[in-house]
Structure 1
């Protein structure tokens, strides 16, 4: 495959490569135009999908925390029942005490268990407040989810309409671009893609306009313009790095340029 590519590079003249490169640039610019028509909708759809997924995760987290609080509350209720049973036992034992020491010990145990009940009740009330707060958070998140889902459905509908209108054109253009690439040597094609990626307007190839670079509009010396018109080698702008061609090669008359 590499040998075939090298043979193609040798058989194609610089002018042929430049012509193919400019045609490729024209096709890719049209694809860019289609993407511009879509605007920021694809990004907005992705952002909404991420936002909705995050809200679902938040709701699930709240629900798990509520379940944990309910388990803790149930444990405290069980502690209260056990403490009440202990108090009942100690009160029965008070009827059979033989001395003040036993009475004092049982009284302290009853007091301790009473305090444990109060602490458990305090925790239960705290858990109940936390559950109420988390239920409120869930309600707010679900309300936001409803709004986001409505917006997402609308954005998806808009995007589907635009994509359906432009999909065939984009597929045709991408096929044309793919068919053109073998007419350009690998090194130049790689450089072109890199330049195009870094260029604000996506232009990797520009033609001379009013004696200046069609990309950055810096003036090009007459000698350099002559070299560009000769099509002997690929020349880039020393200011912006874009590949430069003459207007004739781009199919533009001097007056239009």
Structure 2
């Protein structure tokens, strides 16, 4: 029985390795998906900022066109002043000229404000672009590493599965059946030591008589609470 338990502990270690590898097969795709989401959000933020800068520039160019049109209107009305025949027509033209001059002043102020705004948003754009490019570069390297690791995991699983088959052959058939049944029903360790008089899997107190039976090593002893296979805290030296 002792030899079978030793083989069982080795089998359990292999099963733990397999569990970790299988967890990698879940975790790595999740990490890749998270990276894709973060990168997509960063690219969207960059695109939004580019659009913001472009909209400001479009608005500035429109202001400049409107300014040019207003200036041309002033010249036109000023030229007409010399051909008017009545004071009423003269006053009307002066009013139009003043209105256009007011418009020009507003447009010039607006253009200056848009220039300042464009400079600020352009600086923000360059910062975001730099951050996004750095992130894409870093994620590219990490993605390559993770994909390589994921490919290696499949190979490692195959190796560990072969190793498990060999180890399982060293365990008594009845013991192996009990072990596999417990492993299917419980998370974590299947074979656990008694620590401070209790099962280290569920912390159920183990009677001294049962501890003595485990030390004798004549038969397989399971925790009556959780069903895990018990060994002494010292291991299998008895």
- Tell me which interval the TM-score lies in, with the shorter structure as reference length: 0.5 to 0.7
- Does structure 2 retain, via aligned residues, the 8 Å contact 1:247–1:254? no
Taking the aligned partners of 1:53 and 1:169, their CA distance within structure 2 comes to 32
Taking the aligned partners of 2:209 and 2:189, their CA distance within structure 1 comes to 22
- Does structure 2 retain, via aligned residues, the 8 Å contact 1:41–1:155? no
Instruction: Tell me the number of residue pairs that the alignment of Structure 1 and Structure 2 aligns.
Output: 207
Instruction: Give TM-score, length-normalised by structure 1.
Output: 0.59
Structure 1 segments unaligned to the other structure (5+ residues): 1-21, 197-202, 238-242
Question: Residue 126 of structure 1 corresponds to which residue in structure 2?
Answer: 113
1:139 is aligned, of 119, 126, 133, to 126
More deviation, 47-56/140-149: 47-56
Taking the aligned partners of 1:122 and 1:236, their CA distance within structure 2 comes to 82
2:200 is aligned, of 209, 214, 217, to 214
Superposed CA RMSD in Å reads 4.3
- Does structure 2 retain, via aligned residues, the 8 Å contact 1:52–1:148? yes
1:101 aligns with 2:88: yes
Q: What's the CA shift for 1:61? A: 0.9
Instruction: Give TM-score, length-normalised by structure 2.
Output: 0.63
1:86 aligns with 2:68: no
Distance of aligned partners of 1:94 and 1:126 in 2 relative to their CA distance in 1, 3 Å threshold: same
Taking the aligned partners of 2:40 and 2:97, their CA distance within structure 1 comes to 52
- Does structure 1 retain, via aligned residues, the 8 Å contact 2:21–2:153? yes
Q: What's the CA shift for 1:60? A: 0.9
- Helix, strand or coil: the match of 1:87? helix
1:55 is aligned, of 25, 42, 47, to 42
Taking the aligned partners of 1:81 and 1:174, their CA distance within structure 2 comes to 79
Distance of aligned partners of 1:28 and 1:46 in 2 relative to their CA distance in 1, 3 Å threshold: farther
Structure 2 segments unaligned to the other structure (5+ residues): 1-8, 166-176, 214-218
